[in-house]
Amino acid sequence: MSFRYYLICFVVVLVLTTIISWVKQTRTRKEFFIIMAWVAGSLVLTIGLLFGLAKLLTALGIAESGFIL
């Protein structure tokens, strides 16, 4: 993957973390980084589920190969 994708992913995680931290009114760095870990884990899980679903649909013959990327 290109550096651009990693940068975009980092910015998305940082923005979501900042918004959630502001809404929850976190005060410490530890709370901020815990929220960042949850956001990053959720993003990885969502992307993994999306690619898994794509592979499943391809294997079942419902979709063509490479329809997500």
For 29-67, what is each residue's pLDDT tens digit? 999 999 999 999 999 999 899 889 888 888 888 888 776
Distance between CA 9 and CA 5 in Å, rounded? 6
pLDDT value, residue 69: 62
pLDDT value, residue 43: 92
Host domain of residue 32: 3-59
Whether 66 is covered by a domain: the verdict is no
Distance between CA 67 and CA 51 in Å, rounded? 10
Instruction: Outline where the chain has alpha helix (H).
Output: 3-24, 29-59
Q: What is the count of structural domains for the chain? A: 1
Whether 47 is covered by a domain: the verdict is yes
Whether 65 is covered by a domain: the verdict is no
Whether 30 is covered by a domain: the verdict is yes
Whether 68 is covered by a domain: the verdict is no
Q: Is the pLDDT of residue 27 over 80?
A: yes
Whether 23 is covered by a domain: the verdict is yes
Whether 12 is covered by a domain: the verdict is yes
Whether 64 is covered by a domain: the verdict is no
